[in-house]
Amino acid sequence: MPEITLTQAPAHVRHGSSIGQPLTRRDGVLKVTGTARYAADNHPDGMLYAVLAVSSISRGRVAGLDVGAAKAHPGVVEVMTPANKPPLAQDPDEKGNPFTFRLDLLQSDRVRYANQPVAVVIAETLEAATEGAALLSPCYEAEPVRAGLDSDDSFVPPAVGVGNPAEERHGDVDAGLAAATVRVEAVYETPAQYHNAMEPHAVVASWDGDTLSIDTPSQGMAMAQARIAGLFGIAPENIHIRSPFLGGGFGSKGLISGPQVLGIMAARLVGRPVKLVLRREQMFGPVGHRAPTRQTLRLGAGSDGALTAIDHHAKTASSTFDDFFEPAANVAHTLYASPAIATSHEAVRLDTGTPQFMRAPGEAPGSIALESAIDEMAQACGMDPLAFRLKNYAEVEPVSGKPFSSKALRDCYTQGAERFGWASRPLAPRQMRDEAGLLVGWGMGTATFPALMFQAQARAVLRSDGTGVMETGAHDMGQGAWTALAQIAADGLGLDLDRIEFRSGTSDLPDAGIAGGSAHTATAGMAIHSAGADVIARLADLATADERSPLFGAGNAGVIARGGRLFRRDDESRSESYADILARAGLPEIEGRGSGATDPAAQSTYAMHAHGAVFAEVKVDPDLGQVRVSRLVGAFAAGTIINPRLVRSQYYGGMIWGVSFALHEHAVMDGRSGRPMNPNLGEYHVPVNADVPSLEAILVEERDPHVNALGIKGVGEIGVTGTAGAIANAVWHATGIRVRRFPIALESLIATAA
């Protein structure tokens, strides 16, 4: 399938800049009509179906597989096991960088976690492959399982997140606590959570000699291309990845996973195209998850409510064979002013799949604990939670001392509180009820997420017919990248949106970086902006050096690109169309290239974050303990807004995820077997529409001249932070019961008799 090209613009597009317009999604019609093609929708000629057989134990070895029974089943073509898998050029346990994780590719009979792939059955039909996998009937030699955070073998990890120190200190925390008039110490627990994107991981792989074509969902095609190239010993340019649509990723599709590689191996083994799609329960293990945490917070404050110390300690877990440690405590670095701040982490190793990046890694579990503790301290000081936060407002980043590149958090507090009606909140809990007798509570939380950027490239073309093309291998996993990036492209090329083609979604286009860390719009957008500037500069050079052009000699004054024309900056009555400039030069088109990357000087000078404030109303049944979120109002400041409609949608999604974190999501682990007991969407609960009746997101104006040339900050993950804490604080305000173990369960509140 060729790369996706979208040329239709919505009817309401105005002339002039596309940036800032609330355009509808350019891919929307394709999706609602069912013509958007996802990875598993592809069926090349001669395709076979592959199904994973996965382990039912969490630790031990596979003692036997009934390969004969599986191969004898009608329709089964081959069974791939450690004994006959194709050779790899690279050990899948080899780690090259912090973004490389060890993969289970049938390298031995060892079992390291439940749902680990132990064989792959390849057949003419999906049914035959599924039945063949069941016939393998694995026999195991099981070993004692390591499960839960209570192991005595805890240790300080070498790093948390991606290369961040496990411990950081600013000031003397012990002295700050000793000097405090008011102290709070509390322990908060968050469970393991699993990515449950609507689209499971899938791959359709076809080999032609040493050339590989694959359809697979990817948040980072260039990284996937490089990883696959290393594993199979082929050149990256011999690998063509098509990933025009992702049905959600949340971090789990940022890096190529073991099951996707197994599908590629299966295709090589049988010499025919192969499709492999994970079943829902198979996503609980080999494709990452968020690790559980146990966080201890110690806060001290003076009699005036000013913080004297913050000590945030997080215990988390990784697998027994790889390293990823949730940086939960690090959220305390950036939010509240205190003369002494310490963050630290410890970890244990469990018989689970390796935790990996999951939406707002670190900030999501860390903020629910920190925001709960901040509310507990406000209560202990007898202060309104908003007033307490304003009292401890950080004018510079607390740990680093850097000034913020921009920070409109005060405006977020003000606008959010006014819209919500916060001023009428009673200070004491259990003071409000609705007409049905339900307890009503109001809570708030501060939202924050770093403004990140990665590296990306883009190619721009202006054609002699006055149209343009922008190419970058970007990823749209539902966040609206095709639309927002096309708006940046139109602005950079000085064309109306209906005059450009935006090409994206395949690995043969310039690398757009990874769609993660809420950085994709900034990263790919800056590459697009730079490519547009480059091609316009080349076009301007043609015109200003040509005596026949009305722009001749305007080189020093410069030109402005708008509506398919170049205008002299000092005299806009003198202009010329792109088409005329190229025609006179005898060129069918002109090309420019651009890149996007962080500015090291700005990064070393400024702290760069998006900010927000979330206000929540909950209603709690005093007899049953049932909690409903009845209202959420979030106010967020994230620099330049490319498309308000899409940004508001991202904020809604993040806030809904916060509802899920506070009240629903919980991987129930069997402590004896180490297996998840609810690996399906029937028992792994996430919010539905009825759980979120009223959402409002306020876009607070903010200009940031330092974060990047476009002033863009990310919006995808910040809504998760703040929201979960706001809900937890609202539950306390409704009931007077402080729940510190999440998600908040009925049994934690059942004692709230009317």
- Closest to 39 measured CA to CA, from 210, 231, 266, 248: 248
C-beta of residue 160 within 8 angstroms of C-beta of residue 327: yes
Cα–Cα distance, 446 to 444 (Å, whole number): 7
Angle between helices 258-270 and 221-232 (to 10 degrees): 50
| Alpha carbon distance 405, 339 (integer Å) | 21
Name the residue among 331, 18, 342 with its Cα closest to residue 175: 342
Q: Is 85 helix (H, G, I), strand (E, B) or coil?
A: coil
Secondary structure in 3-state letters for 469-521: EEECECCCCCCCHHHHHHHHHHHHHCCCHHHEEEEECECCCCECCCCCCCCHH
* Residue 88: both structure tokens together: 């790899």
In DSSP terms, which residues pair with 637 in a beta bridge? 611
Q: Is the dihedral of CA 545, 547, 551, 556 positive or negative?
A: positive
Reduced to 3 states (helix: H, G, I; strand: E, B; else coil), residue 220 is coil
CB 458 within 8 A of CB 510: yes
Nearest Cα neighbor of 114 from 597, 670, 675 is 675
Give the separation between CA 231 and CA 215, rounded to whole angstroms. Answer: 18
Q: Which of 746, 743, 745, 677 is closest to 190 using CA atoms?
A: 743
CA distance 325 to 361: 10
Residue type at position 310? I
Distance in angstroms (rounded) separating the CA atoms of residues 375 and 389 = 9
Give CA separation, 259 vs 215, 222, 264, 323, 464, in Å. 13, 18, 9, 19, 46
Q: Burial level of 679, CB count in 10 A (0-12/13-18/19+)? A: buried
Question: Are the C-beta atoms of 690 and 684 separated by less than 8 Å?
Answer: no
Q: Helix, strand or coil for residue 341?
A: strand
Intra-chain end-to-end CA distance of the chain, in Å: 62
Tell me the three state secondary structure of residue 623: coil
As given in the structure block, the two tokens for residue 301 are: 């404050």
Q: Whose CA is closest to 669, among 111, 113, 155, 102? A: 113
Omega before 679 within 30 of 0, i.e. cis: no
The CA distance from 96 to 294, in Å, is 30
Which residue carries 């807004």 as its tokens? 641
Comparing C-alpha atoms, which of 751, 752, 734, 749 is closest to residue 631? 734
DSSP string, 139-161: EEEE-----STT-S--B--S-BT
Question: Exposure of 46 by Cβ count < 10 A (0-12 exposed, 13-18 middle, 19+ buried)?
Answer: exposed
Which listed residue (397, 501, 717, 747) is catalytic?
A: 717
Task: Judge contact between 719 and 657, C-beta under 8 A.
Answer: yes
Give how far Cα 754 sits from Cα of 22, 432, 532, 734, 739, Å. 47, 12, 64, 12, 18
**Is 141 in the active site?**
no
- Torsional sign, CA 724, 725, 726, 727: positive
Q: Give the containing element (helix H, strand E) for 240.
A: strand 239-242
Q: Token match 């003692």: residue?
A: 63
Q: Which residues carry out catalysis?
A: 717
